[in-house]
């Protein structure tokens, strides 16, 4: 037991180092990069000293995870209040209910279009690297995962597209505010939009009541924003713990055995990121400045592997760094975490389908197969919110629609966490890209904020809150 205690003492020293850095009023971006590097070094040291799969490492990570999982939970805590007051506040300020349809329609359209492009990139990368499921050896874990996936397929197939759309509506908004369903985030967005539109009606018919409500929303927004700043000030500590867990808990032997797929996946993810930068440049956004400003958000998404947990940081960065409108930022971050995910629902299922195709006699370069695969990936990316589960469920839907053996998806279980880190970062990048394009197209962007130096990041002052 002495070794885990020593390890945790070192971890505490790293936290103290980050705390000292925060007190010197360095920006959040610098502190996140520092914590990322420290997490990699500390996690790598644990692997080097004790070896992969060591019980000492497992015991250490159990307590390190208190910081990481605790931070992610705090982020999830503020998601629903942030979305609700921000969307209502945006509608009350704009006083235009008609813009809601434009915002949601354009945001969803961009998410789905980029997912279709992501599927095409996945197909091209898989063929370029010659990926095939034939060369992958099944172990006990892979076989068990395959059997589990087959058992879940029945439940997924029972959810129709109509059922998925119905699940978006907030039948019980209080339950959705508690996050009781996979589609609770979208349901809260819709509920908040209804409240915002209703408040506009009250303002017209009862100006005094409307003014009181607007004042209440302004107070609620300020309280929630302060809460968000308090939680985001903890980001470096969360990233340190999450990155330590990822590096120390990885099985490098399995990674090396599937290194070709890992490399191909990250080449595809890099191409998706380049695609996002090219798209924002079409609406007059400097892609390099855009990347610098979203990088801290992508780093957190990378380490946490949680698109939903990144929503508060996503919205905060879109509003305060990219200059996107509050309403657009909330819609894009919320929808982007539950549908049209470029990495999980676009690239990954397409790559998996191309790998499996030769094993069942399908030519992965056949134009008909490619067109069908892209169409299915795009449609299923809109439906994964109805069943939950991210990349795994997206892959199940796509493979079952193509009559491919879903059990083969279990072959990649050993490298799933490593690839999922990159996929999550790209998902978030796609959501922020959709928000940026929508804001520029609808004229709801503030270029003054976007052109500000990153060093003026207001979240750097969170230590003073």
Percentage of residues in the chain having pLDDT higher than 90: 36
Q: Identify the DSSP state of 99.
A: H
User: Quick one: pLDDT at residue 157?
Assistant: 53
Half-sphere exposure of 350 (CA within 13 A, CB side): 37
What would the pLDDT profile of 181-198 be if each residue is shown by its tens digit?
767 888 888 898 899 889
The predicted model gives 311-337 an average pLDDT of 89
Is 303 within 8 Å of 36 (Cβ atoms)?
yes
CB atoms within 10 A of CB 138: 14
Among the listed residues 236, 237, 262, 258, the one whose alpha carbon sits nearest the alpha carbon of residue 422: 262
CA-nearest of 122, 436, 442 to 276 is: 436
**CB within 8 A of 293, min separation 6: which ones?**
317, 321, 322, 450, 454
Return the pLDDT at 136.
58
Q: What is the CATH number of the domain that holds 10?
A: 1.10.3860.10
- The answer to pTM > 0.75 is yes
Lowest-pLDDT choice from 53-67, 72-86, 176-190, 388-402:
388-402
Cα separation, 228 vs 359, in Å, equals 49
Q: What does residue 181 show for φ and ψ, rounded to 5 degrees?
A: -130, 165
Mention every residue, 6+ apart, whose C-beta is less than 8 A from residue 182.
167, 338, 385, 386, 387, 388, 389
Instruction: Find the farthest-apart pair of alpha carbons in the chain and give their distance in angstroms, rounded.
Output: 71
How far, in Å, are 28, 229, 253, 454 from residue 233 at the CA level?
Answer: 8, 6, 36, 16
For tokens 């975490």, the residue is: 337
Q: Are 31 and 18 in contact (CB under 8 A)?
A: yes
> Is pLDDT above 70 for 380?
yes
> pLDDT tens digit string along 105-136?
899 999 999 999 999 999 999 999 988 776 55
**Number of domains comprising the chain:** 1
Which residues are CB-contacts of 320 (< 8 A; sequence separation ≥ 6)? 449, 457, 458, 459
* Tokens linked to 261: 């797929």
Looking at residue 228, its pLDDT comes to: 85
Ranges 15-24, 421-430, 452-461, most confident = 421-430
Q: Pick from 202, 234, 256: which is nearest to 31 by CA?
A: 234
Q: What span, in angstroms and rounded, lies between the C-alpha atoms of 131 and 264?
A: 8
Q: Domain range for residue 92?
A: 2-464
**How do residues 342-353 score in pLDDT, each as one tens digit?**
998 899 999 999
């Amino acid at each position: 037991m002495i070794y885990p205690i020593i390890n945790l003492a070192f971890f505490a020293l790293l936290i103290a180092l980050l705390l000292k850095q925060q007190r010197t009023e360095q920006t959040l971006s610098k502190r996140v990069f520092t914590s990322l590097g420290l997490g990699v070094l500390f996690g790598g040291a644990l692997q080097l000293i004790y070896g992969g799969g060591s019980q000492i490492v497992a015991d250490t990570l159990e307590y390190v995870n208190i910081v990481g999982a605790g931070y992610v939970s705090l982020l999830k805590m503020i998601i629903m209040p942030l979305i609700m007051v921000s969307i209502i506040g945006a509608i009350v300020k704009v006083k235009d209910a008609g813009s809601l349809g434009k915002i949601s329609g354009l945001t969803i359209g961009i998410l789905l279009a980029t997912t279709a492009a992501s599927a095409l990139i996945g197909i091209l990368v898989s063929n370029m690297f010659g990926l095939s499921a034939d060369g992958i050896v099944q172990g006990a874990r892979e076989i068990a995962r395959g059997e589990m996936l087959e058992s879940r397929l029945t439940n997924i197939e029972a959810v129709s597209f109509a059922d998925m759309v119905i699940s978006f509506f907030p039948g019980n908004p209080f339950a959705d505010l508690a996050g009781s369903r996979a589609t609770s985030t979208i349901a809260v967005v819709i509920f908040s939009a209804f409240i915002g539109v209703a408040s506009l009606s009250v303002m017209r018919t009862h100006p005094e009541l409307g003014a009181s409500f607007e004042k209440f929303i302004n107070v609620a927004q300020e309280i929630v924003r302060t809460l968000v700043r308090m939680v985001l000030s903890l980001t470096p500590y969360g990233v340190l713990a999450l990155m330590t867990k990822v590096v120390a808990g990885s099985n490098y032997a399995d990674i090396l055995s599937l290194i070709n797929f890992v490399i191909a996946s990250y080449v595809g993810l890099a191409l998706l990121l380049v695609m996002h930068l090219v798209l924002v440049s079409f609406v007059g956004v400097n892609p390099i400045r855009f990347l610098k400003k979203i990088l801290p958000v992508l780093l957190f998404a990378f380490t946490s592997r949680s698109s939903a947990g990144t929503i508060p940081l996503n919205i905060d960065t879109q509003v305060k760094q990219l200059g996107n409108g509050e309403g657009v930022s909330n819609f894009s971050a919320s929808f982007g975490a539950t549908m049209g995910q470029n990495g999980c629902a676009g690239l990954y299922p397409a790559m998996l389908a191309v790998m499996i195709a030769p094993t069942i006699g399908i030519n992965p370069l056949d134009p008909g197969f490619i067109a069908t695969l892209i169409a299915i990936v795009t449609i299923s990316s809109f439906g994964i919110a109805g069943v939950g589960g991210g990349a795994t469920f997206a892959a199940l839907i796509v493979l079952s629609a193509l009559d491919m053996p879903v059990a083969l998806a279990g072959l990649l279980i050993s490298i799933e966490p490593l690839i999922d880190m990159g996929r999550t970062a790209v998902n978030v990048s796609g959501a922020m890209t959709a928000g940026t394009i929508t804001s520029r197209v609808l004229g709801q962007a503030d270029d003054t904020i976007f052109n500000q130096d990153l060093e003026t990041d207001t979240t750097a002052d969170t230590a003073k809150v």
